[in-house]
Amino acid sequence: MTTRVAESPREGFAAGALARVAPLARSPVVYGIVAAVGAVIVGQYLDVSPPAAYGLCSACHGRDLADWVLNHVEGRKLFITAAGAGAWPLLTVVGLVIGSFAAAKRNGEFGAIDIGGNARQFLFGFVVMGAALFVGGCPTRILIRTGYGDVAGIVGLGGVAAGIVAATLTMRWVARR
């Protein structure tokens, strides 16, 4: 016969509630809510505000971050968009890298992989970032600039359309092989 210590109903409820809530702690939804609440707190008390009508663009935000640092460290007068000209730099790219690193470490997916063609992929990335900076970054800006009749916007929109067609045809060709 086994002897057990009788637990009170309150202890049983607490253990059951903890067992039900524990999986939520690793949920992306919970991380999103925590990040949103943190952003509101930082925005309210440190006077950090998200840029108005400024999407998530690694090219533009990276450029603005580098320019902001150079302007504040070396006293340069490099151009920074209105969104990044505040007292705080745009830390979107830094947040993406840190968040991706944390998620990969948490899920045990962090490590080096060899997918081949590293020099080619670096060159393609260089071309894409250069083109993004040329046309203003994100597809939303490309559409706005095209609407104003800007030649760079028209060229960028044509490039996006051509890239979509080329990528689709390439993926279809690889899938058939």
Domain definitions of the chain by residue range: 13-48
Global pTM reads 0.54
Stretch 46-64: mean pLDDT: 69
**Burial degree of 48 (CB within 10 A; 0-12, 13-18, 19+):** middle
**Better-predicted residue by pLDDT, 25 or 61:** 61
**Better-predicted residue by pLDDT, 56 or 100:** 100
Stretch 3-10: mean pLDDT: 57
Give residue 165's pLDDT band: very low, low, confident or very high (50, 70, 90).
Answer: very high
Stretch 66-87: mean pLDDT: 77
Give residue 28's pLDDT band: very low, low, confident or very high (50, 70, 90).
Answer: confident
- Residues of the chain above pLDDT 70, percent: 75
> Rounded to whole angstroms, how far apart are CA atoms 31 and 25?
8
Is there a contact between 165 and 141 (Cβ–Cβ < 8 Å)? no
Query: How far from chain centre, in Å, is Cα 84?
Result: 16
Each residue's pLDDT tens digit, 85-124 = 777 777 777 888 888 888 888 878 888 777 677 788 888 8
Q: Give me the residue label for tokens 């509101």.
A: 40
Each residue's pLDDT tens digit, 128-159 = 888 777 776 677 778 877 888 888 888 888 88
> Rounded to whole angstroms, how far apart are CA atoms 44 and 39?
8
Alpha helices in 46-138 (DSSP H): 58-74, 92-106, 118-135
> Rounded to whole angstroms, how far apart are CA atoms 92 and 90?
6
pLDDT at 69 over 60: yes
